[in-house]
Amino acid sequence: MRTAVLAALLVLVAAPGVAQPDVVLIVADDLGFGDVGYNGSDIQTPHLDQLAAEGLVLDRFYVSPLCSPSRAGLLTGRYGVRMGINEPVSHSDTLGLPPAEVTLAEYLDDAGYETAMVGKWHLGDDCPFHPLQQGFDSFVGLLSGGASYFDRRNVVGLDWWRDAAPVDTGGYTTDLIAAEAVEVLSRPRDGPLFLYLPFTAPHTPLHALEEDLVLYPGVAEPHRTFAAMTTALDRAVGRVMASVRASGRPTLVWFLSDNGAVEDFGGSNGGLRGGKGQHWEGAIRVPSVVWYPEWGAGEVSHPVWYLDVLPTVLGLLPQPPTPVNPLDGTDQGAFLAGAPPDASVLERTLFSYRRTGTDGYWLAAQSALWKYAEHRTPDRTAVDLFRIDLDPYEQADSSRSYRGQVAAMRQAAIAFTELTLPGAAHDETLTIDRPPDLAECSGILTTPPGPPPGGLSLRVGPNPLRDDSAVRIETDRYREVRVDLFDLLGRRVRTLFTGTVEAGGRRAVPLRPGGLPSGVYIVRVTASGASMSARVVVAR
C-alpha cells in the first residue's frame, strides 16, 4: 500500500504558469541495437536518424532482457522482480503491475500533468492492473503483448481498447498508434502532458504494409518484413515529432527499445552477442535517444538504464517528489546536460536476471567497467567476466585472471536473485488463455478522461484522512458538481456531494475515514461534464 509520501501528500492540481516540460516516452518493441540507421543498419530510419542527430544518443543504454520487466521498470524505476514480473505477462496470468507500485504517470498526475497512454500495455489485463488504474487519464491500445497488425486480434479475440471499452477498427496498428498520439499532442490544454507511447513494432507477428515492403526488393525474409515494419515505426515517430515541433512547447522525448532483437525474426543486434531473453549485450543494450533541446546534442558514453527514466523525468519538475518506494535507478539529468559522470554513476551495478525452468537462469551484474555473467542449465553453470567498456562484444573472458572481481560481483548478483517474489514470472496454475474481463471496471474507468478543466481546482486534505479532512473545490463559473469516492477497483464507495457551486465560489465537502478499511481511494469530482481526481489514503 502507498504509505510514506502518499500518506503525507496533499494532492493539489499544479498552479497554471509553472514551467514544466511535456514528456513523450516512445518505446519500440524488439528493436535491436543494429536496427536503426544511425547505428549502421540497412533499414531506412530517416526520422530516428534525425532524432539522433538533434538529440543525445545513449550509446550504452540498458534494459531488461524481456518486455514486461522492462515496461514495469520504465514506469516505476524499480526492477520487475520486486513486483513478481520477470517474464512477459501472458493471457493466462493473474498477475500484473501491482497497485502498490507508484508509476511515472501517477507522480506526474499529482504534479498537474495530463497523462495519456497510446499503445501496448503488457502489464496485466485485469481491472487492478489497467492503465487507468495506474495513473493514466486516457488509454488507447493493446492490453496484451501483441495481436495482428491488421485487425488487432490474437488467440483470445479483439485486443484494441479505448479506455475500458473494446474498439473494432480497421487500419494498421503502427499507423493507428501514431494517429492517436498526434491527436493527443494536438488537442488544446492548459497544463503539461505526459504521453507514454509504446509501439508494438517491430515485434511479431511479422505483418507489414505493401508500401513499406516495396522499399526492400530482393531482401530475404524474415529481414524484409522486419525492415518494412521498422520503417513504418520510423514514419510513425516522424509524425509524432512533427507534432512535438509544431507545438512549440518545451518537450522531452525519450526513445528506446524494450529489449534486444530476435535475429531469427529478422532483427539485428549490431554484432553484439546474443539476443532477447539472455544476459548478453545483444539482449539488454538497445538503441535510445533523448531529445531535449535544453540538453543539446551529442553522444553519452556512460551507462544509462531503463530504471533511470522515472527519476530523470521527475528531476525536471520544479519540486521533484520523494519516491514512495525505493528506486533502483537514479536521476541522470545533470549528466545528460553535460556534467561528467562521477563514481556514483560509473560504479553502480545493473542486474539482469531471467529464470528458465526450475533451476536454470540467465544472470548478469555489470558496472561501467565490468560485467559478470552466469548461465545455469541442468547440465552446467557457465561463468564469464568481461571488461565490458573495452570488450562490448563479450569475446575475452577474464574470470580466471580476476577471481576477486568474480567473487564480489557474483555475491551481489545472487543476492539480487533473492529479491524475486515467490511465484514470479507466469502463474503456472493456469493453462487456458482467457480474454480480459473488464465488466467490473466501473467508476474511474468510465469517467471521461482529460486534462483538468480551466477555472476548476481541487484539493484534498489532510491526507491521510482524518476527521477534519475535506474535498475543497473552487470554480470560476456556476457548475453542477458531483463528488464520489471510489476504491482502486473502480467501485463507488460513497457519493459525498451533489449540488451546485456558484461562480467564484468555494465548496468544502467533508471526507471522513469512518467506516473505511485502510487503503488507497480515489476522489472523483465531476463538474459540468468535466472531471478531476485525487488519491487519498486511509491509514489505521
Biggest alpha carbon–alpha carbon distance for the chain: 77
Contact, 378 vs 91, CB < 8 A? no
Rounded to whole angstroms, how far apart are CA atoms 505 and 16?
Answer: 19
Is 512 buried (19+), middle (13-18) or exposed (0-12) by CB count in 10 A? middle
Is 417 buried (19+), middle (13-18) or exposed (0-12) by CB count in 10 A? middle
**Grid coordinates standing for 231?**
520503417
Handedness of CA 482, 483, 487, 488 (dihedral sign): positive
Rounded to whole angstroms, how far apart are CA atoms 527 and 530?
Answer: 5
Rounded to whole angstroms, how far apart are CA atoms 481 and 62?
Answer: 47
Bridge partner list, 11: 460
Contacts 24+ apart (CB under 8 A), 448-451: 448/529, 448/530, 448/531, 449/116, 449/132, 449/136, 449/137, 449/138, 449/163, 449/531, 450/114, 450/137, 450/138, 450/530, 450/531, 451/114, 451/137, 451/189, 451/190, 451/191, 451/193
What's the gap between Cα 230 and its chain centre? Answer: 20
What's the gap between Cα 468 and its chain centre? Answer: 37
Rounded to whole angstroms, how far apart are CA atoms 253 and 293?
Answer: 10
Neighbours of 478 (CB within 10 A): 13
Task: Verify whether residue 122 is a known catalytic residue.
Answer: yes
**Grid coordinates standing for 36?**
536503426
The DSSP annotation for 335-356 comes to HHTTPPP-HHHHS--EEEEEEE
Exposure string of 270-285, with b = 16+ CB inside 10 Å and e = fewer, is bebbbbbbbbbbbbbb
Rounded to whole angstroms, how far apart are CA atoms 396 and 384?
Answer: 9
Dihedral angle, C-alpha 418, 420, 421, 422, nearest 10 °: -70
Task: Verify whether residue 67 is a known catalytic residue.
Answer: yes
Residue 296 CA: distances (Å) to CA of 161, 250, 301, 312, 332: 37, 13, 15, 16, 15
- Annotated catalytic residue, options 47, 122, 207, 279: 122
Query: What is the β-pairing status of strands 193-198 and 22-28?
Result: parallel
Bridge partner list, 382: 375
Residue type, 29: D
Contact, 284 vs 32, CB < 8 A? no
**Residues designated as active site:** 67, 122
